[in-house]
Amino acid sequence: MDFVTLGGNVLGIIPLGDIVLYVTPFNLFLFAVLLGFTALIAVSQPETQIEATFNNFQNNEVKVGEKEFRQRRFLSVICGLASAGAMITGDLFNFTLFMALVGILNIGIVSAVKQTTVLNSAFNYGLIAMMCSLPLFGGAAIILASTGTLSLQLLSQMPTNPMVIFGAVLMLLGILGESGIAPFFASKAEMFRTPGSPFIVIIHLSSLFIIVRAVEILLLVLW
């Protein structure tokens, strides 16, 4: 399947050595939306979470401290930029690098939270992300070894073979684990309970957009 079928006409190609950026209406839309959300997160203030208590009528306010606020905002902005980069990269290996970076930043965004359940969830997600990085990068390496290129533009024009299919299946397994979706979603769900929105939103948003982009890439490689 070619670029025109999936994302519309190619508006431009920017070769940067091994990194090849290409722009279609589909990828440009994803890129612009992520940049817009990143800009909103950069200028937003964290909310104050209200927790109800049992056996009395008092509520507890959970606020984000100034130091923690700065850390989360910085990591959220970097996460948004990494996710936006994954939307327009035309190199399969760089897509896996952006994806691994997003997984690391997702853990960093909640690393300063003083809640045991959130930290346990982040730890479990980190373990799964590290284990799934092997099939993620291994699948890209197999595709490179069997085709001689990581350019999505060239891969979309090549016929598939069993090794490419095997590499794509490994990449899919790695993508599922790195994104924290089914069947690995349980390791990431508790992370959303931490205070600090809108910074927590970028964790969910980056995973959604990465999955959409991954589906496009797998269709380009396999179809």
196's tokens: 């600090």
Closest CA to 79 of 57, 106, 45, 53: 106
Q: Check pLDDT > 70 for residue 52.
A: no
- How far apart CA 178 and CA 78 sit, in angstroms, is 17
Note the pLDDT tens digit of each residue in 71-115: 888 998 999 999 999 998 888 988 999 999 998 998 888 887 878
Note the pLDDT tens digit of each residue in 109-132: 888 787 888 888 888 888 888 899
Domain ranges of the chain: 12-222
179's tokens: 């994104």
What is the structure's pLDDT at 1?
A: 59
Q: What pTM does this model have?
A: 0.84
- How far apart CA 110 and CA 121 sit, in angstroms, is 10
What is the structure's pLDDT at 83?
A: 93
β-sheet bridge partners, residue 91: 151
- How far apart CA 168 and CA 175 sit, in angstroms, is 10
Note the pLDDT tens digit of each residue in 156-209: 888 889 999 999 999 999 998 888 877 777 777 778 777 767 788 888 888 889
Confidence of residue 48 (pLDDT cuts 50, 70, 90): low
Q: Check pLDDT > 90 for residue 34.
A: yes
